[in-house]
Amino acid sequence: MSTPELHWYKSSYSSSSNGNDCLEVAPTPTTIHIRDSKNTEGPRLAVTPATWTAFVTYAADR
């Protein structure tokens, strides 16, 4: 069984004055994958959709 290819999306809110600081996410029905766009082969974080929603809600309130 093969793993489906992830489709990464760059966050429109993740940038700096030089445009090099970007977060990318690849949502699937059961997992939200997160990586640093400057190091696409580096470490990744995977969380449940509920955890991602809680994080985004928390961050939006800050």
Q: What is the pLDDT of residue 25?
A: 94
Confidence of residue 42 (pLDDT cuts 50, 70, 90): very high
Place of tokens 């445009």: 19
Lowest mean pLDDT among 4-18, 20-34, 42-56: 4-18
Confidence of residue 4 (pLDDT cuts 50, 70, 90): confident
Judge whether residue 32 has pLDDT over 80: yes
- DSSP string of the chain, one letter each residue: -PPPPP--EE-TT---TTS---EEEEE-SS-EEEEEGGGTTS-EEEE-HHHHHHHHHHHHT-
Q: What are the C-alpha distances in Å from 48 to residues 5, 10, 16, 21, 33?
A: 18, 19, 27, 24, 9
Judge whether residue 3 has pLDDT over 90: no
